[in-house]
Structure formats: structure tokens, C-alpha cells
Amino acid sequence: MFVRDLIQSCLRRWYLVVVGLLMTGAASYLVFQAVPPTYEAKASMVLVPPQVAVTTGENPFLYLGGLDQALGVLQVKVTGPEVAEPLLEEYPGTAITVAQDESTTGPIIVADVTGPDALSTMGMLEAMKTTIPSTLATLQTDLDVPKASVITVLPLAADASPTVVYKKPIQFTGIVTAMGLAATFLLVGLADGFLERRKMRKSRPNDLVSVPQLSTLEGEWEHHGHTPGKPQQGKGSQPAKSNRGKGSPTTSTPPETETKLVGSRRENRR
């Protein structure tokens, strides 16, 4: 019932709906322009096993299965405050995510950088491309790992330019659009109800009938020769004759009977 009434209200007040839609569209466009997009860039690297773990003449990529533990240690170290905070201070507004590539089972590490502009995003990505290998080398140096047993990092792929992500502007624009549409239809329904009630009040006849005053009625009765409060006598009627005797009932004689009696008396006199 409410939906049907709302649709009818919108059809009757279509011009208000058009105004509301225009205002909603303008507000959504302004919000989409005001909220800046984010920029995203990625780089992937793989851990290469040491020389002692590879049989002479074999392919090193055949021995990647035992490097998952080293990858986990490197991930924790890079995202820790000791390494990450100086980079975040150098490129404010950016964010970094370092994790293992879920699309493969190998020891591939992916650095995901997001930033408010393309310049800072690419700067952070280049810093991560040098920070990850240097951090892994520092960890092994601190442990006095022999050169033949050192794990190295090989870059695989990196974005040459950031990708523009409109997720945040779209979210805010969708919220503003939904609120604008809801407000438009709600206000149109309220306005239509108010205008319809106002129209009914103007077109409704006056239910109060004016009652003449008592003095006016008495004047009209006296003008026609009547006395208020007494019954009106018909034309040609005569007052009823009553017997003066005590206890005798009062009787009235019709005019026709009286005329016949008078005529008969005159004939007897003749």
C-alpha cells in the first residue's frame, strides 16, 4: 500500500521528482570529484636457494620448496616498525603490504603499495624493491651465514606505473546517491500529501449551515399573521363551539352542517 501510494505521489508530482533527481546527480558528481582516488602498484620477487642447496649443474628453481620459512621471517621483518616506519615517514599517506603470493606455492613475495598520488606510490614501490633484498641480506649477515649458504632475492615483475583505484570515490558517491534518492521520494510523498489535503480543504463545501436567529423567525411569523407557539388554523375554518353546561363535552360543528341548519330554519319561518 505504501509503495503504491508513493508511486502515485511521484506520478502526480513528477516535477518535484525531476528536481530531486537533478539535485542528487549534482551532489553525487561533486562528491565523486571531491574524494580523491588511490593509486596502487605491485612488485613481486622470488627467493633463490643458496649454492650449497643446489646440485652442480641443476636448475635452482627446482629447489624452491624449502624456502617458505625464510620467506615468513623476511615478511615479518620488512613489515615491522624498524624497517617500515622510516619509509612511511618518507612517503606520507602511503601503505605497504608484504605477503606471499597466494596464486603459487613457491617462495614468491609480493609488495603491494597504495598511496594518495602516483609519485609517492611509485617512490614507495622503488624503496620496497631495494629494501626487501637488503633486509634479507642483513638478517643473514647478522647470523654470520657463509657466502655459499646465503639466500638471495630475484625480482620477477613490477608495475611501471600505478593503477588508479576509484573504490573510495565510488563508495562515497553511492552513499550520497542512495541518500539523495531516499530523501527525494520521501519528501515528494510528504509534499504530495500536504498539497492533496490542502486541495480537499479548499474544494470541500461548508458543512456549517447558518441558522436564523430566533428574533428573525418571530418577525416572519408575525408578518404572516401567526403567533409563535400557537397552531395555525386552516382557511374557512371556524372555532369550535362548546357547550356551556357543566360536564358537557366540547363538540365542534362542521361548517357545511351549520349552513344546512340555517337554511332549514329560514324555510320554516316562511
**pLDDT category of residue 17 using cuts at 50, 70 and 90:** confident
Task: Convert the pLDDT of each residue in 208-251 to its tens digit.
Answer: 444 445 455 455 555 555 555 555 554 444 444 444 444 444 45
* Least confident residue range of 18-27, 117-126, 184-193, 227-236: 227-236
- Residue 242 is predicted with a pLDDT of 46
Spatial contact of 104 and 134, defined as CB atoms under 8 Å apart? no
Per-residue CA distances from 217 to 123, 220, 233, 234, 246 (Å): 102, 5, 19, 21, 40
- Residue 195 is predicted with a pLDDT of 78
Mean pLDDT of the region 108-121:
94
Please state, as a whole number, how many other Cβ atoms lie within 10 Å of the Cβ of residue 135: 20
- Residue 260 is predicted with a pLDDT of 53
CATH no. for 38-165:
3.30.70.1130
Higher pLDDT, 239 or 128: 128
- Residue 92 is predicted with a pLDDT of 92
Query: Residue 71 is inside which H or E element, if any?
Result: helix 68-79
Task: Convert the pLDDT of each residue in 131-189 to its tens digit.
Answer: 999 999 999 999 999 988 999 999 999 999 999 999 999 999 999 999 999 998 888 88
- Residue 189 is predicted with a pLDDT of 82
Q: Mean pLDDT of all residues in the chain?
A: 80
CB-side neighbour CA atoms (13 Å) of 153: 25
Domain residue ranges of the chain, discontinuous segments joined by +: 2-34+168-203, 38-165
Mean pLDDT of the region 15-37:
91
- Residue 202 is predicted with a pLDDT of 75
Please, is 31 exposed, middle or buried when counting C-beta atoms within 10 Å of its C-beta (0-12, 13-18, 19+)? Answer: middle
**pLDDT category of residue 102 using cuts at 50, 70 and 90:** confident
Q: Which of 57-61, 112-116, 143-147 has the highest mean pLDDT?
A: 112-116
Query: What's the DSSP call for residue 152?
Result: E
Return the closest-CA partner of residue 115 out of 86, 92, 94, 96: 94
Please, is 41 exposed, middle or buried when counting C-beta atoms within 10 Å of its C-beta (0-12, 13-18, 19+)? Answer: buried
Report the distance separating Cα 23 and Cα 185, nearest Å.
13
Higher pLDDT, 19 or 201: 19
Q: Kindly tell me if the per-residue pLDDT of 256 is higher than 90.
A: no
- Residue 245 is predicted with a pLDDT of 45
Return the closest-CA partner of residue 181 out of 8, 9, 27: 27
The phi and psi torsions of 166 (rounded to 5 degrees) equal -100, 25
